[in-house]
Amino acid sequence: MTSTWSIEAPRLAMCASSIAIAVLALTPCGVSAEHALACKVTAVTDGDTLICFDPARRKMEKIRMRGIDAPESNQAFGQRSKQSLSDLTYGKPATVSWSKRDRWGRILGVVWIEPADCTGYGHVLDANRTQLSLGMAWWFRRYASEQVAEERLQYELEEIKARKRLVGLWIENEPVAPWDWRKSR
């Protein structure tokens, strides 16, 4: 006879590790005042950009996901990356942890959502990091200095693991980084 505990234990362990990661990532560590934006994802522009509705200010906000760079829409894996982010976030409540805007006025931040398989624990899944893990984005090394050390290390490790597993864009022999693709256009 299988007890309820033995069935739930792996799920609870996964949720607990997600919560621990969220607590570490949300802990200020040398980053200027992080803000938290509670919103609902209303659109996904591409694999690293989405639009959220902020009910407190009754305003739409464009979010550029900090620390990652996804393939452009017309680039190989561009549409798959967008679909992946949409599957993760579209229509869901989110918390965006951020400290600055880019030159186009977009919030640069980490998008936190509640994992589909771990309901009731809140926004503990880093969607930026998940895009890396799925092989749907590169870690954006050029802007690594804008990340806290723990986030930087986590993102770098997720990209390395995705490359080794040959998932997503890493299935290609020589995937072209979005920054190189943009430069060639």
Note the pLDDT of residue 164: 98
Nearest to 93 by CA among 70, 64, 67, 116: 116
Note the pLDDT of residue 15: 57
Out of 34, 61, 66, 72, the active site residue is 72
Out of 34, 61, 66, 106, the active site residue is 106
Which residues in the chain show pLDDT less than 70? 1-32
Catalytic residue check, 64: yes
CA 67 to chain centre: 8
Strand 59-65 and strand 107-113: the pairing is parallel
Note the pLDDT of residue 32: 53
Catalytic residue check, 72: yes
Note the pLDDT of residue 118: 87
Out of 34, 61, 64, 151, the active site residue is 64
Those residues whose C-beta lies under 8 Å from the C-beta of residue 75, and which sit 6 or more positions away, are 176, 178, 181
Domains, in order of start, for the chain: 17-184 (2.40.50.90)
